[in-house]
Chain A
Amino acid sequence: MTAIAENPSTGTLPRRRGIFPRPTKTTGALSWLTTVDHKKIGIMYGIGALIFFVVGGLEALLIRAQLATPNGEVLSADLYNQVFTMHGLTMIFFVVMPLGAAFINYLLPLQLGARDVAFPRINAVSLWIWVVAGLFVYSSFFFEGAPNGSWVSYFPQALVGPDPAGNLASDAVAIQQSRMLFYSMGLQIAGVASLASAVNFVTTVLNMRAPGMTLMRMPVFSWMSFVTAFLLLFAMPVIGIALWQMMFQIRFAGPFFDPLNGGDPVLWEHMFWLFGHPEVYIMILPAFGIVSEILPVFSRKPLFGYSAIVFSGIAIGFLGWGVWAHHMFTAGLGPVADSAFGIATMLIAVPTGIKIFNWLGTMWGGQIRFTTPMLFAIGLVSMFTIGGLSGVTHSLVPHDTQQHDTYYVVAHFHYVLFGGALFGLFGGIYFWFPKAFGRLLNERIGKLHFWSMLIGFNLTFAPMHLLGLNGMPRRYYTYADGMGWNFWNAVVSIGSLVIALSFAIFVINIIVSRNNPPAGADPWDARSVEWLTSSPPPVHNFDDIPVISDNDELWYRKYASTSDEDAPVRVAAGGSDDENPGGPYGDRVSGKTAKELGIHMPDPSWFPLLLSLGLPIAAYGVFFEDRITMTAFFAVGGILTFGSMLGWALEPSAEEDH
């Protein structure tokens, strides 16, 4: 619902009553529970993801405490398996993905010059379903323990209890069932949120662009969000089916993956990685988009090779579907499959390389300002290069059988997901923080944050390359003295503490910066239209929808001369200054409310929150052997969810005569 003007038609029917009055408040704590504003939803995604980042980070510290010395005794084997599994699940599904979603939510409508996403209430549903999914998975600690089969949870390991000799075998099976049901149902719920987001973002991009904004005038971040949404759209149903199969296997003994009853455990690997590899790009592409926004602003140049970067992003999206089996080079798929997937994996290096070179080309000849967001963006370009190069070595299939499931792989994907995605996402936080909250973060503390994170990151993950090549497999809760792994493991553990410290600096920065002076609409001398509106933007984003005539719309409103040969000249009184925060080009916000301007914005609603609460309740039903209890949980959860959908469909507008 993106209504611009009041619907002129008046009702011909008696007004239907909702179950309870439609909320109208747009300020105060409760308004956050009922909001459908993409900006508030984005902020909540971000805060939620950062909270989970602390939790997942503490799990990482536990892992490193255990492995700091040989024969570590911080965690038992059982607890270690739970902690490392939850670290992976948390960082992937509850940190990096939602941080990406936070940026997409917040920025996509602003960058497209839209008032909101295509389906604001579905957007709120995505948020709340994601929140309850996280709480659901973590509630496992109050039952039989957390999932313990690693984030890939291969079968038949996922069926086997943690301690067959110590317990009665049936106890072990019950424990394992509970843990893996939390995995399958928890990720299933999170997947619903992602799927809903994907439909929403695809529709938004295709339908909600401002006048004049052709697809090839979209900011690159919007483009990468678009590609990400398509990847989600097609990857989520695949993992959804795999998770249902897992649930049927665990709960109803349907032998999908049980080799004792004819099932094929390798099918799970295929299904998982058919989702799992696109998932990697789901996590990295938003960060690529962020960097493609930051680099031009702080180089004062347009993005070099815009269309090459866009098409390489699309190419990565496509190729991402053809490389899943490179996670299975040791599974024995045969030489033909190994060769095909090896070559496909090499091919991905080409579009990735194009992106790196174009980013360098963007900086070439510019005036590089080393602000905190720029440092993080440069951090991504450099660290991701390392991760990309180690990724190419994985495509050497015979040698990959040496690297597979060792710390070399752990090093690789942390360089991609931490050095790549997280550096980009932190850069994005520093870049758009003034837009979202109206105040810049402290630059000096920000730079301290960057350097401590860069050092800690390399201290932690660079030695893992060596450990892996020296034969240290991953997912080991302990290792013996005398393997030659002691020194580098100690270094890695120290590095993890430095990363923890760097995050503490980030938190301090947010606290310290709360009283910074107002940033103004365009504190960075930026280029895309989200900087056209006030900081923070009004609920309706823009008083008037901007008409777009260029990739760098805002830049060309501020500077004359668009030819490649001439240096641009500042348009009189353009740019951002304290006395005139909007500037003449950016005088898009009058300070009036949407209502005063006659803009109809979607009303808040309780139903997204209520709808999402039904899902975990129904999911808890799966845990009960007793059919009546199970059905009761299904019924309560189902009534809540489907009742909310019905209530939603029939929900009245808050405005009397609408």
Chain B
Amino acid sequence: MPADALQPFGPVAEAQDALWDLAYPIAIGVFVLVFAGLAYILVRFRDKGQEELPVQTHGNTRLEIVWTIIPALILVVIAIPTVQTIFDLAREPDPDSLIIDVVGKQYWWEFRYEEAGIWTASELHIPTGRDIYIRLDGSEPGNTTVYGQPPVMHSFWVPSLAGKRDYVPGAIREMRIQADEPGVYPGNCAEFCGLSHANMRFTVIAHSPEDYEAWVASQQEPALLAQDELVQQGQELFVSGACIGCHNITGHPDVDPDAPSRVGPDLTHFAAREAFAGYIFDSPFGEQVEDPDQAMENLRAWIRNSSAIKPGSHMPATQVDGAPVDGEQLDAIIAYLATLE
């Protein structure tokens, strides 16, 4: 689905687009008027080598007043609906609004469903037809500090559903989105945030209300314990490779359910996502993956040394017992990840 600000798929984007639809024809009208007038003047009053000089007009007060007042009136026409829309979109959440907390990390988005008790990364699942109240929560910047450096600003933008709003460390910002139809709506970060600003994408996936409930239920399931040997090995490597220091997997035997780490994305349902690494690479486990072999290759490269394929990635190169992760270990880790449906 195209990410086009002029093709809204929900009431918020529609309200914003309505202002454009009002102002754009006026702007085009003024444009045509000025350019046609200019063209006429340039042709009509070009120097034809005449002897006599033109009349030295200094101005015309009546005209001045006219072209001061008419633009001002036009502006009133667009100002009124603009202010109305500003206040309408800034209203408090409705009682049945779904409130989702969003945190911008470097360089991926975390989505927290407080009510359902689930956390996702880079995939924002929402029910259709319901007001989604987004709280961009930077209120506890200390909790998202990495390498001792402060978290930075991002901007949350899904062109098809709503204009953007900044994620501000140290503050909470709100916005709302709503999708009318089930679908996949691409989004991205729109505030310059560092090396991989361009690689900080995400997707809003709108489900029918029933499908959404089913999705929530599936997300609330913990990960399965390893059933075969390779997966078992991967599950152990997740600890010895220090992945567990940043990534939470609910249901993993070594994860303390009371203190799950939130530094990296929650991987409890990793294999259910369509993409990884800030949604720039197709996941080999996704349903819509175009080239599974390439996707698998990317995932292996990612686990080996993520910053080699995504500049500035905060995930360190994976090491097991002080040595870079080897091919067999990668097989095991990926086999384990594949079970995280």
Contact = CB atoms under 8 A, between A and B. Distances in A.
A483 to B, nearest CB: 8
A164 B54 contact: no
A430 B170 CA distance: 52
Contact of A164 (B35, B171, B173, B312): B312
B112 interface: no
B67 A331 contact: no
Nearest to A264: B170
A259 B165 contact: no
Given A356-B34, A564-B57, A368 B6 contact: no
B149 A160 contact: yes
Residue from the set B13, B34, B173 with the largest chain A CB neighbour count within 10 Å: B34
A381 interface: yes
Given A78-B311, A342-B82, A364-B45, A473 B189 contact: yes
B75 A349 contact: yes
A85 to B, nearest CB: 9
B68 interface: yes
Nearest to B2: A484
Interface in A357-377: 357-358, 360-361, 363-370
Contacts of A401: 16, 162-165
A165 B313 contact: yes
Interface in B177-214: 186, 188-199
A473 B198 CA distance: 8
B324 interface: no
B151 A259 contact: yes
Given A301-B54, A331-B168, A476-B198, A393 B23 contact: yes
A392 B79 CA distance: 11
A60 B313 CA distance: 27
Given A343-B79, A386-B31, A401-B16, A392 B141 contact: no
Contact of B194 (A162, A364, A400): A162
Interface in A313-364: 330-332, 334-335, 338-339, 342-343, 346-347, 349-350, 353-354, 356-358, 360-361, 363-364
Interface of A: 76-78, 81, 149-150, 154-157, 159-166, 169, 172-173, 258-260, 263-266, 299-302, 304-308, 330-332, 334-335, 338-339, 342-343, 346-347, 349-350, 353-354, 356-358, 360-361, 363-370, 378, 381-382, 385-386, 389-390, 392-393, 395-406, 468-471, 473, 475-480, 483-484, 559, 561-570
A469 B6 CA distance: 7
Contacts of A154: 153, 191-192
A335 to B, nearest CB: 4
Contacts of B171: 264, 266, 332
A259 B150 contact: yes
A279 to B, nearest CB: 19
Given A342-B82, A363-B45, A392-B23, A478 B64 contact: no
A565 B55 contact: yes
B78 interface: yes
A163 B107 CA distance: 12
A342 B202 CA distance: 30
B121 to A, nearest CB: 18
Nearest to B89: A398
Interface in B37-92: 37-38, 41-42, 45-48, 50, 52-60, 63-64, 67-68, 71-72, 75, 78-79, 82-83, 85-87, 89-90
B307 interface: yes
A402 B314 contact: no
Interface string B79-109: 1001101110110000000000000001000
Contact of B71 (A349, A406, A476, A561): A349
Contacts of B162: 401
Contacts of B63: 305, 357, 361
Contacts of B164: 330, 401-402, 404-405
B82 to A, nearest CB: 5
A498 B136 CA distance: 43
B297 to A, nearest CB: 16
7 contacts: A156-B169, A157-B193, A159-B149, A160-B150, A386-B31, A471-B2, A473-B157
A386 B311 CA distance: 37
B307 A166 contact: yes
Nearest to B31: A389
A356 to B, nearest CB: 7
B17 interface: yes
Nearest to B59: A305
A339 B152 CA distance: 27
Contacts of B87: 335, 339
